[in-house]
A = this chain, B = another copy of it.
């Protein structure tokens, strides 16, 4: 015991500690509420000090995004063929991003060049190529999968945010559909039982990935 301090010195400010604090804040208070001022508060400094380590909020959030992706493990040989592995990988990214509120919004406004984003992109392309998808089409396919991941993560985050009110949201939407004139919207009316009964969300997610990945084989450049 060379020190008599009863509380540890707070860690010195650094880019990594700021990014980590921001991710925690995203989880605790949401993406929109994670402001530069609140992040500064979380690391016990003033907002101006953050700008020594990050250029702006967008850059900070891009770092937070990539930190979140660090949790994604790549599928391995035991996980099946290339299609099964791509589906598994995409599912994992959706689950991970979707658990951090609207963090996936970063993908909409930013080209992501972070370490983990690249790691996942490399593996996606590798699997596509292993599956015989032509070189010209691989980037298109990866982009399509990435679009699906982003929108699905945001959908999942919205659902998580609704949380306990999930039934309320479903009921509200069902009420909208019920109120629609059956003459003008016959199909919505007829499908109403299946429209709101989101039923098995996992089955729906799996089905979507199947359409996307198995659909690669029917498009030109597919096999």
User: Which of B118, B144, B190, B194 is A185 in contact with, Cβ under 8 Å?
Assistant: B118
The reply to whether the CB of A220 lies closer than 8 angstroms to some CB of chain B is yes
User: Which of B109, B138, B188, B207 is A118 in contact with, Cβ under 8 Å?
Assistant: B188
Q: Kindly provide the distance from the CB of A179 to the nearest chain B CB, expressed in whole angstroms.
A: 10
Are B204 and A210 touching (Cβ within 8 A)? no
Nearest CB to that of A176 among chain B residues?
A: B113
Tell me the residues in window 171-223 of chain A with beta carbons closer than 8 Å to chain B beta carbons.
Answer: 172-173, 176, 180, 184-188, 190-191, 194-195, 204, 207-208, 210-212, 214-221
User: Which of B180, B215, B220 is A215 in contact with, Cβ under 8 Å?
Assistant: B215
Are B191 and A139 touching (Cβ within 8 A)? yes
The reply to whether the CB of A34 lies closer than 8 angstroms to some CB of chain B is no
Tell me the residues in window 102-141 of chain A with beta carbons closer than 8 Å to chain B beta carbons.
Answer: 102, 105, 108-109, 111, 113, 118, 121-122, 125-126, 129, 135-141
Q: Kindly provide the distance from the CB of A194 to the nearest chain B CB, expressed in whole angstroms.
A: 5
Are A191 and B151 touching (Cβ within 8 A)? no
Contact bitstring A126-170, B, C-beta under 8 A = 1, else 0: 100100000111111101100110111011001000000000010
Q: Kindly provide the distance from the CB of A110 to the nearest chain B CB, expressed in whole angstroms.
A: 9
Question: Within the oligomer, what is the number of copies of this chain?
Answer: 2
Tell me the residues in window 79-100 of chain A with beta carbons closer than 8 Å to chain B beta carbons.
Answer: none
User: Which of B125, B135, B186, B195 is A139 in contact with, Cβ under 8 Å?
Assistant: B195
Residues of B contacting A184 in the complex (Cβ-Cβ under 8 angstroms): 122
User: Which of B121, B144, B148, B220 is A188 in contact with, Cβ under 8 Å?
Assistant: B121
Q: Kindly provide the distance from the CB of A91 to the nearest chain B CB, expressed in whole angstroms.
A: 15
Q: Kindly provide the distance from the CB of A218 to the nearest chain B CB, expressed in whole angstroms.
A: 5
Q: Chain A: residues with CB nearer than 8 A to chain B?
A: 102, 105, 108-109, 111, 113, 118, 121-122, 125-126, 129, 135-141, 143-144, 147-148, 150-152, 154-155, 158, 169, 172-173, 176, 180, 184-188, 190-191, 194-195, 204, 207-208, 210-212, 214-221
